[in-house]
A and B are shown apart, each in its own frame.
Chain A
Amino acid sequence: MTNEEPVPLHGKAVFDADLYGGAEGGNGYTASIAMEEEDEQDDRERLVAGKLASYTAPKSVLNDIPVSDDGDQAGSFGGSNRIVDRESEYSRRRLNRIISPDRNDAFNMGDQTPDARVRTYADVMREAQLAREQDNTLRNIELKRRAEEDAAALAALDAVPTKASGLAPPVAASAATAPASSAGKRSRWDAGDAAARPAASKWDAVEATPSAPADAWGATPAPGASKWDAGEATPGAGARRNRWDATPADEAAGGKRSRWDATPAALYHALKVERETEARNRPLSDADLDALLPGAGDGYRVLEAPPGYEPIRTPARKLAATPTPYGGTPLYGIPEEDRGQAFDVPIALEGLPDLKPEDQQYFGKLLQEVDDGELSVEEAKERRIMKLLLKVKNGTPPQRKSALRALTDKARDFGAGALFNQILPLLMSPTLEDQERHLLVKVIDRVLFKLDDLVRPFVHKILVVIEPLLIDEDYYARVEGREIIANLAKAAGLASMIAAMRPDIDNVDEYVRNTTARAFSVVASALGIPTLLPFLKAVCQSKKSWQARHTGIKIVQQISILMGCAVLPHLRALVDIVKGGLADENQKVKTITALTVSALAEAAAPYGIESFDDVLEPLWKGIRLLRGKVLAAYLKAIGFIIPLMDAMYANYYTREVMVVLLREFATPDEEMKKIVLRVVKQCVATEGVEPDYIRTEVLPEFFKHFWVRRMALDRRNYRVLVETTVAIAERVGCAEIVGRVVEDLKDESEPYRKMVMETVDKVIASLGTADIGAALEEQLFDGVLYAFQEQVADESPVVLNGFGTVVNALGTRAKPYLPQIAGVIKWRLNNKSAKIRQQAADLIARCAPVMKRCDQEGLLAHLGVVLYENLGEEYPDVLGSVLGALKAIVNVIGMTRMTPPIKDLLPRLTPILKNRHEKVQENCIDLVGRIADRGAEFVPAREWMRICFELLDMLRAFKKAIRRAAVNTFGYIAKAIGPQDVLVTLLNNLKVQERQSRVCTTVAIAIVAETCAPFTVLPALMNEYRVPELNVQNGVLKSLSFLFEYIGEMGKDYIYAVTPLLEDALTDRDLVHRQTAAFVIQHMSLGVTGLGCEDALLHLLNLVWPNVFETSPHIVQAVTGAIDGCRCALGPATILNFLLQGLFHPARKVREVYWRHYNNLYIGSQDALTAFYPRMEDEGINTYARAELDVFI
């Protein structure tokens, strides 16, 4: 919905883009109204995603899929990553914006008058004003034309009272088109003698660029072309300027600015357009016409113009002609022909990443061979930036990192202009992908930090590019956008920000205003609300345009959404600023004001009622007088203010507002329904409202209008209704609500049943079943069982959850129903549909605790046997659920009384461990782990060993939970059957090639050592170190590292035992040996701090120390850690003595390393070090000696 279109008074309803957000095409509130829904997740989507996550493919297949190094796999499956492809039409309007030329930095100039060539704030404001006036004029013209047409139609109707209604409009329409088309012809022929007037044609070329909305071309031109006269009156200021007209329009407007101010991309387009326009619209000379048309030789002759004919020479007239489409389709540029280009060969530049075809436009220059010596400084700089940007955009991660760093470091040398003139057009590129945008935005962020106040002239340009991120559907893009704008605000300062954004506040395009409001709220959060208050006050009282007031109020709304309770200190000021909007004559301003008040109240809850005193009365009057959208907004405001009031007032106001709400219960408008539900929810939750009142006044109407099947169909309605009903139940009690809906559990519409089930679930979960009588209980159970049995293949767990909640809440009261449930479950476990079997198994898992509580162990045991028989299940999802159910049963009835007995159950589980499906693996390993933990003695040791072997495979699982469960199970098994055998298995596994498996094995060894005491494990482990194999030795060291981490203080008994081994490792040639040994020392030293092991640690530190000069990052980290650990165990003095040798070493490399370690030491023990610094001699005028330390008594 664009802003240019007037709202029709009749016919199809048109949604206000401000209120309903263009993004969703008017089918739902967007962020501007339903702010808490901004980040909501679609329940169904989440579920589906969850389900999908458990499907996996054979590893061989997964390994074959090439994965980009960033782990961003979306692209590898054929879907487009381009941002334009997923954007809504509304978001795509960002492409309509132009990157405006640099602006004057008024804050850097002192008293100088700005250079006439640069754009100043005044210029920009004037342009915005012109655009607005033009928009108004166009709108008025349109209205007038319509009125005239209607009048004509009416007149025609009057003339021919019958049958005319069908004919009149076409007549009028053709009458309207006739002059236009003839005008078109005339001007075509004008071109013939226009050759004589080169000046005029030049003017045409400039003016012919469309400076009106693109869709205006589609419409029939108005007769008399008065539109274009208006256009001339406000030259070149496009209502919706599109990117193509950037330069010419500006040129026409300012006159004093040369087109060279424009950014390269805009310039490029402008030149291209101009060239094309000139080529196509070049006047035909007589010679051309002779060549084209048959001449006298073919029996034709050239006619003279009729005597009275005078060609129309006013350019304005000519513009009424149907324009030739120039420049091709928008968003598509025919690539420049380049003779030197090799076709079909991927373009590769040396040392640079590949160019994509669409990058040519921006990076084409790099393809030209140039001699570096011939380039001017500026050109060389430009090429250098271009290369770096290309590396950031398309390069490999290392390339990207170094390029990013180079850009950051050199930012001030390059200068703001050179950088932004290249970065910003790239960001506006229609083919940009998410990842690329992220990287470029990162560049801006880094560069901003460096450039600081140099960015001022570019603030607006940057905002044009970054603002669209604020309404991106991707959460992280929004966060990124906020961060950049916040940094920009800090770099440029408030005054610059306001100067840059003020003209956009009353921009004619709603999109621009919307994004500007959001950007302003970010500025407010970055620089503090108080600094922005005076400005907001002025804007909200603007007399010039309602747009400014609207945007000003919207800024306040966005601030409260963004900052939440941080608005509290400024609440009164903010309310004061917006309150005038409630009395505004413009409906949109009224609406946004009410929404802002509600946002403020929501942010402030539960405080700050006194700040809203001033708005209560107008809101109050409003809900009685208004209708429609405005009423909805007012109701919402009231709904959010009532919870802030104290009980007495809340009660009074609720009763008052309820009259209106009850009336609106019957509204057919979906949005109104949602708001009414929200307000009811807010009101009933307030303290002062009495349950009796709700029961008698609200409930009957509420159920009559809202508890209908239709409400279950729309997801948002569904959710709001459930929430509201639960809120009501909190006041009137569980039985009241459950009693009303319980019948509907047997409704024939499944979505409706689900909605009922979810409500029952939530109500009972929060209120319990204490007030549910016997009759209702029976009814409830009947309904729940019916709903469970009737659900067809459906993914959602709503019914299952509801069932579980009801059964568990009933507790012992559920006893009479349990046999019935068990019967249903048993029957359904044998159903041929996999879904149903799975649901049945899941239900067992939920009911098991209740069955135990109801003393139904026999039943549980029976179900256990049934499940045991079902272990041959072939569907992995069902098998996973069966295992989960078995686990639940084992949990409640214990190992000894479990049927089938554990000794039969476990051997059946061993082969299932081989299953590769994640759900099966996870449930199976949990069950096995539990048995190993509690009932290991029921199973022979041989079986446990077999399981150990299976578990080794589990260490390779993708899911961390599975790996962790497997590692823990090793610990349980080792405890049960003694560490020796398990350890042998694990030590052998150190020889395998796969790294992940080895890492997990080392963890498992450490856990075994922890559970079975280290002395049972260490001998074998240290013996294994003698195997002359790199992987094994490193594995042993890594196990030691984990081991000492886990055993902590216990380590003091083992230090001397492992010291020789560590000596060997620390003197090994292999880097990894030394690195891992350093990690061992780190954990060891931290564990034994203060336990008197200094001698051994000092010895080890002596061996660690030479490694400080290693450069590989991992070993640097390990050595730093080891030294830090020793600092704690040995005290800072020891380390300082090591360091003093090299702090002022002649070699810089030594100094660098030593100072790094010194800094670490210093930060860790600053105070303690003062006693240990060396005694210094005074030097010249400087006194370095610390005489205070020599004082003694």
Chain B
Amino acid sequence: MAQTLQDRLNINSQLEHLQSKYVGTGHADTTRFEWNLNIKRDTYASLVGHHSLATYHAIAENESIGRVKYNFVQNMLFPCGLPPERDDD
């Protein structure tokens, strides 16, 4: 972390601390995979959370609303497949 002493000790570091408490926030070393993971999970959560969107998908897929929601929730487990191998450098 190449930060100066000054801004490590100010209110902004508190802000960063606060941000890091939320799932889904990122940092300078966030990978493409991690970011997309969050994006997809957020998307599914949003689709499940907004009933109208779930209804829309239910009509489009000709499934029951409950099934559609269930599928979305299931997809949140591994929305992007397995994480890529980390090359340790």
**One of B8, B12, B22, B49 near A1163 (C-beta < 8 A):** B22
**One of A1120, A1143, A1155, A1170 near B43 (C-beta < 8 A):** A1170
Judge whether A1111 and B25 touch: CB under 8 Å.
Answer: no
Judge whether A1116 and B7 touch: CB under 8 Å.
Answer: yes
Stretch of A107-115, A726-734, A892-900, A1182-1190 lying at the B interface: A1182-1190
Q: Cβ of A1183: which chain B residues have Cβ within 8 Å of it?
A: 79-81
- Measured in the bound complex, the distance between the Cα atoms of B81 and A1151 in whole Å is 26
- Measured in the bound complex, the distance between the Cα atoms of B24 and A1167 in whole Å is 12
- Measured in the bound complex, the distance between the Cα atoms of B59 and A1111 in whole Å is 52
**One of B7, B12, B19, B43 near A1188 (C-beta < 8 A):** B43
Q: Cβ of B2: which chain A residues have Cβ within 8 Å of it?
A: 1148-1149
Judge whether B24 and A1113 touch: CB under 8 Å.
Answer: no
B70 proximal to A (CB < 8 A): no
- Measured in the bound complex, the distance between the Cα atoms of B35 and A1191 in whole Å is 23
Q: In the complex, what's the smallest C-beta–C-beta distance from B47 to chain A, in angstroms?
A: 6
- Measured in the bound complex, the distance between the Cα atoms of B84 and A1179 in whole Å is 10
- A1156-B15, A1167-B49 are known contacts. Are A1182 and B84 too (CB-CB below 8 A)? yes
- Measured in the bound complex, the distance between the Cα atoms of B79 and A1189 in whole Å is 14
- A1113-B10, A1113-B11, A1180-B84 are known contacts. Are A1166 and B42 too (CB-CB below 8 A)? yes
**One of A401, A405, A1167, A1181 near B82 (C-beta < 8 A):** A1181
B27 proximal to A (CB < 8 A): yes
Q: Cβ of B5: which chain A residues have Cβ within 8 Å of it?
A: 402
- A1176-B36, A1186-B39 are known contacts. Are A1160 and B12 too (CB-CB below 8 A)? no
At the interface, is chain B mostly helix, strand, loop or mixed?
A: helix
- A402-B5, A1170-B42, A1183-B81 are known contacts. Are A1144 and B24 too (CB-CB below 8 A)? no
Q: Cβ of A1117: which chain B residues have Cβ within 8 Å of it?
A: 11-12
Q: In the complex, what's the smallest C-beta–C-beta distance from A1131 to chain B, in angstroms?
A: 16
Instruction: Among B11, B40, B79, find the residue whose CB has the most chain A CB atoms closer than 10 A.
Output: B40
- Measured in the bound complex, the distance between the Cα atoms of B11 and A1183 in whole Å is 39
A332 proximal to B (CB < 8 A): no
- Measured in the bound complex, the distance between the Cα atoms of B62 and A633 in whole Å is 77
Judge whether B24 and A1162 touch: CB under 8 Å.
Answer: yes
Judge whether A1173 and B19 touch: CB under 8 Å.
Answer: no
How many inter-chain contacts with C-beta < 8 Å in the A-B complex? 106
Q: What per-residue 1/0 map shows which CB atoms of A1136-1156 lie under 8 Å from chain B?
A: 000000011000110110011
> Which residues B52-86 have CB closer than 8 A to chain A?
56-57, 59-61, 72, 79-82, 84
Q: Cβ of B49: which chain A residues have Cβ within 8 Å of it?
A: 1167
A792 proximal to B (CB < 8 A): no
Q: In the complex, what's the smallest C-beta–C-beta distance from B38 to chain A, in angstroms?
A: 8
- Measured in the bound complex, the distance between the Cα atoms of B16 and A1117 in whole Å is 12
Q: Cβ of B9: which chain A residues have Cβ within 8 Å of it?
A: 401-402, 405
Q: In the complex, what's the smallest C-beta–C-beta distance from B41 to chain A, in angstroms?
A: 10
Q: In the complex, what's the smallest C-beta–C-beta distance from A572 to chain B, in angstroms?
A: 39
Judge whether B56 and A1159 touch: CB under 8 Å.
Answer: no
Q: In the complex, what's the smallest C-beta–C-beta distance from B10 to chain A, in angstroms?
A: 4
Q: In the complex, what's the smallest C-beta–C-beta distance from B55 to chain A, in angstroms?
A: 11
B79: nearest residue on chain A (CB-CB)? A1183
Judge whether B30 and A1155 touch: CB under 8 Å.
Answer: yes
- Measured in the bound complex, the distance between the Cα atoms of B9 and A1112 in whole Å is 11
Q: Cβ of B72: which chain A residues have Cβ within 8 Å of it?
A: 1188
- Measured in the bound complex, the distance between the Cα atoms of B60 and A803 in whole Å is 81
Judge whether A1155 and B28 touch: CB under 8 Å.
Answer: yes
Q: Cβ of A1158: which chain B residues have Cβ within 8 Å of it?
A: 25-26
Q: What per-residue 1/0 map shows which CB atoms of A1114-1125 lie under 8 Å from chain B?
A: 001100100000
A583 proximal to B (CB < 8 A): no
Judge whether A1184 and B6 touch: CB under 8 Å.
Answer: no
- Measured in the bound complex, the distance between the Cα atoms of B10 and A1188 in whole Å is 42
Q: Cβ of A1173: which chain B residues have Cβ within 8 Å of it?
A: 39, 43
- A1113-B12, A1184-B80 are known contacts. Are A1179 and B28 too (CB-CB below 8 A)? no
Q: Cβ of B46: which chain A residues have Cβ within 8 Å of it?
A: 1167, 1170
Judge whether A1160 and B82 touch: CB under 8 Å.
Answer: no
- Measured in the bound complex, the distance between the Cα atoms of B49 and A1149 in whole Å is 36
Judge whether B60 and A1148 touch: CB under 8 Å.
Answer: no
- Measured in the bound complex, the distance between the Cα atoms of B5 and A290 in whole Å is 71
- Measured in the bound complex, the distance between the Cα atoms of B72 and A1149 in whole Å is 37
Judge whether B56 and A1193 touch: CB under 8 Å.
Answer: yes
Judge whether B36 and A1167 touch: CB under 8 Å.
Answer: no
**One of A1113, A1159, A1176, A1189 near B19 (C-beta < 8 A):** A1159
**One of B32, B40, B82 near A1179 (C-beta < 8 A):** B32
Judge whether B26 and A1159 touch: CB under 8 Å.
Answer: yes
Q: Cβ of B32: which chain A residues have Cβ within 8 Å of it?
A: 1144, 1179, 1184
- A1117-B11, A1148-B2, A1156-B15 are known contacts. Are A1182 and B81 too (CB-CB below 8 A)? yes
**One of A1167, A1176, A1180, A1193 near B60 (C-beta < 8 A):** A1193
Q: In the complex, what's the smallest C-beta–C-beta distance from A1159 to chain B, in angstroms?
A: 4
Judge whether A1155 and B42 touch: CB under 8 Å.
Answer: no
Judge whether B25 and A1163 touch: CB under 8 Å.
Answer: yes
- Measured in the bound complex, the distance between the Cα atoms of B45 and A1180 in whole Å is 25
Q: In the complex, what's the smallest C-beta–C-beta distance from A97 to chain B, in angstroms?
A: 36
Q: In the complex, what's the smallest C-beta–C-beta distance from B70 to chain A, in angstroms?
A: 14
A1117: nearest residue on chain B (CB-CB)? B11
Judge whether B36 and A1182 touch: CB under 8 Å.
Answer: yes
**One of A1111, A1143, A1167, A1184 near B42 (C-beta < 8 A):** A1167
Q: In the complex, what's the smallest C-beta–C-beta distance from B11 to chain A, in angstroms?
A: 6
Q: Cβ of B22: which chain A residues have Cβ within 8 Å of it?
A: 1159, 1162-1163
- Measured in the bound complex, the distance between the Cα atoms of B7 and A423 in whole Å is 28
Q: In the complex, what's the smallest C-beta–C-beta distance from A957 to chain B, in angstroms?
A: 28
Instruction: Among B5, B28, B61, B82, find the residue whose CB has the most chain A CB atoms closer than 10 A.
Output: B28
- Measured in the bound complex, the distance between the Cα atoms of B44 and A1167 in whole Å is 10
Q: In the complex, what's the smallest C-beta–C-beta distance from B12 to chain A, in angstroms?
A: 5
Q: In the complex, what's the smallest C-beta–C-beta distance from B54 to chain A, in angstroms?
A: 11
A659 proximal to B (CB < 8 A): no
- Measured in the bound complex, the distance between the Cα atoms of B4 and A1111 in whole Å is 9
> Which residues A355-413 have CB closer than 8 A to chain B?
401-402, 405
Q: Cβ of A1151: which chain B residues have Cβ within 8 Å of it?
A: 28
Q: In the complex, what's the smallest C-beta–C-beta distance from B59 to chain A, in angstroms?
A: 6
Judge whether A1186 and B43 touch: CB under 8 Å.
Answer: yes
> Which residues A390-442 have CB closer than 8 A to chain B?
401-402, 405
A260 proximal to B (CB < 8 A): no
- Measured in the bound complex, the distance between the Cα atoms of B50 and A1166 in whole Å is 13
- Measured in the bound complex, the distance between the Cα atoms of B11 and A1169 in whole Å is 26
Q: In the complex, what's the smallest C-beta–C-beta distance from B42 to chain A, in angstroms?
A: 5
Q: In the complex, what's the smallest C-beta–C-beta distance from A195 to chain B, in angstroms?
A: 64
- Measured in the bound complex, the distance between the Cα atoms of B40 and A1169 in whole Å is 11
Judge whether A1120 and B15 touch: CB under 8 Å.
Answer: yes
Q: Cβ of B57: which chain A residues have Cβ within 8 Å of it?
A: 1188, 1191
Judge whether B60 and A1192 touch: CB under 8 Å.
Answer: yes
Judge whether A1186 and B42 touch: CB under 8 Å.
Answer: no
- Measured in the bound complex, the distance between the Cα atoms of B8 and A1143 in whole Å is 21
- Measured in the bound complex, the distance between the Cα atoms of B25 and A1152 in whole Å is 12
Besides A1159-B19, A1182-B84, A1188-B47, 9 other A-B contacts (C-beta < 8 A): A1117-B12, A1143-B26, A1156-B12, A1159-B25, A1162-B25, A1166-B24, A1167-B46, A1170-B39, A1193-B60
Q: Which 3 A-B pairs have the closest CB atoms?
A: A1113-B10, A1159-B19, A1151-B28
Chosen A-B contacts, 14 in total, with CB atoms closer than 8 Å, are A401-B9, A1113-B6, A1116-B12, A1148-B28, A1149-B2, A1151-B28, A1156-B12, A1162-B25, A1166-B24, A1182-B80, A1182-B82, A1184-B36, A1184-B80, A1191-B57
Residues of B within 8 A of A (CB): 2-12, 15-16, 19, 22, 24-28, 30, 32-33, 35-36, 39-40, 42-47, 49, 56-57, 59-61, 72, 79-82, 84
